[in-house]
Amino acid sequence: MSGAGAEAARLAAVHTRLAEWQMHVRAAMATRRLDLPFATYVMTDDLPDIYDLNLAVVTAPVSPQVLLRSVDKVAEAAGWTHRRIEIDDVAVADRLRTPLLAAGLTEQRFVTMMLDAVPPTPAAKQSAVVDIGAQLDLARAVTAEQPWADGDRILDQFAERERRLAGVAGGRAVIAPPDAPVSRCLLLTDGRLFEIDALVTLEAHRAQGWSRAVVQGAIDHCRALDAEHIVLVADDDDWPKAWYRRLGFREIGHSFAFQRTPATA
């Protein structure tokens, strides 16, 4: 294998490792798991509005007709008002895209990125690493600013999701500033692979360097723990992807979600 081929294989292996670990975490947080030859279903009955804990993850090539029938059957039995299908294989996603869109699902594209270089300049603002439970008030506030957060029910479910992450994914959070935080991310790990997740800043405090401070704090913490890889997943069609590149992250893989919600049906 050429040097370029070996490097591509190494990066693909990190992307696959992250996807497999994410499935392990979801299953640990969920109520039930159903493994079929072509998909794994995760069902979390007490958090029905957390779509990434109530979904199908395609694990092998499958015809769109079989997949859609299966998803509808499981969803109806589970009482889902939504449909969510995630695919981690580009070729499988390409084959399924047109029929899934024709069935009324919308596509979200994601890119897995891995830290590959030292950020060009240190962050100018301070951050702190805390237990996930210590920042749940901030988590609730930033979630409440999202357009889909329409009441206490969804806020309560997202708070419970974060409590579970603390228990099953070695979860910590990075906040900034330390004394009156307005920005945060979650920092999840299997012990050697570290994922920066759910980076968000309160709207009134954006474009002030707080997100930069949080990401730098997360990187510093991971390095202090001798992390093997530091990764994150970004929207492939949104501007933060370019911002992460400037901080030293590179693209190593792609994944896809096809979703229909009561709001988009």
Does residue 256 fall inside a structural domain?
Answer: no
Does residue 61 fall inside a structural domain?
Answer: yes
- Same domain? For 98 and 165 the reply is no
- Same domain? For 81 and 147 the reply is no
Does residue 264 fall inside a structural domain?
Answer: no
- Same domain? For 69 and 166 the reply is no
Q: For the chain, how many structural domains are there in total?
A: 2
Q: For 210-252, how does the pLDDT look when each residue is reduced to its tens digit (9 = 90+)?
A: 999 999 999 999 999 999 999 999 999 999 999 999 999 999 9
- Same domain? For 73 and 40 the reply is yes
Does residue 258 fall inside a structural domain?
Answer: no
DSSP of 165-204: HHHHS--EEEEESSSS--EEEEEEESSSEEEEEEEEE-GG
Instruction: Write down which residue in 77, 111, 145 finishes a domain.
Output: 111
- Same domain? For 35 and 107 the reply is yes
User: What pLDDT is attached to residue 1?
Assistant: 67
User: What pLDDT is attached to residue 164?
Assistant: 96
For the chain, residues with pLDDT lower than 50 are none
Cα 124 to Cα 216: distance, rounded to the nearest angstrom = 10
Does residue 138 fall inside a structural domain?
Answer: yes
User: What pLDDT is attached to residue 244?
Assistant: 96
- Same domain? For 70 and 168 the reply is no
pTM to 2 decimal places: 0.94
Cα 207 to Cα 161: distance, rounded to the nearest angstrom = 28
- Same domain? For 107 and 146 the reply is no
Residues 6+ apart with CB under 8 A from 8: none
Does residue 141 fall inside a structural domain?
Answer: yes
- Same domain? For 233 and 136 the reply is yes
- Same domain? For 176 and 98 the reply is no
Query: Residue 98: how many CB atoms within 10 A of its CB?
Result: 10
Q: What is the DSSP letter of 51?
A: G
- Residue numbers of the domain that contains 168: 128-247
Does residue 163 fall inside a structural domain?
Answer: yes
> Which CATH number covers residue 239?
3.40.630.30
Does residue 254 fall inside a structural domain?
Answer: no
- Same domain? For 57 and 139 the reply is no
